[in-house]
Amino acid sequence: MIYIKKLNPEHIKAILNLINQDPYFKLLSMDICKLDFGYCRVEVNLDTKHLNPFGGIHGGVYASIIDTAAYWAVYCELEEDAGLISLDLKVDNLSTAKEGKLIVEGRQIKVGRSICLSEATVTDTQGKLLAHGTSKQMVTQGLQSIDQAVVAMGHQALPPKFLEGDS
């Protein structure tokens, strides 16, 4: 029999509630809508606060939302007590946007014991590719773990990340 980890849906619900209350996420109006093994979906409704002086989306917004989706695409792959720190981020701004909803999809490329690689794409609701990026993250023990986020945000403890059992 092979043991396969199963995500606890109650943990995912609680983690989405926690991280979507983050002040920076609220500042940028980011909403993490879906987390799964190797995948994250973020949505952003563009507003004037996202625009540069020329009326298009600021490149820093692309960088922030790509970093977020790429980071959280790795989260479900990690052990319960592991943390994650972004080491670098490469962003290609491919087109501009001035209004509407942005869809950001993060996907893990490689999850290692100490280094992870992921990517994210930003599209509009018609599927036009606006930006793409890759992120390298370092897996940590006792640094930037979810337990530390829970404490920092004054949130109650989360349910276990994984369900017990064989599949």
Domains defined along the chain, listed by start: 6-153 (3.10.129.10)
DSSP 47-95: -GGGB-TTSSB-HHHHHHHHHHHHHHHHHTTS-TTEEEEEEEEEEEE-S
Local confidence pLDDT in tens for the 167 residues of the chain = 555 789 999 999 999 999 999 999 999 999 999 999 999 999 999 999 999 999 999 999 999 999 999 999 999 999 988 999 999 999 999 999 999 999 999 999 999 999 999 999 999 999 999 999 999 999 998 899 999 999 999 999 999 999 986 44
Contacts of residues 23-26 at CB distance under 8 Å and 24 or more positions apart, as own/partner, are 24/64, 25/68
Give Cβ neighbours of residue 5 (< 8 Å, ≥ 6 apart). Answer: 162
A 10 A CB-CB count for 68 gives 25
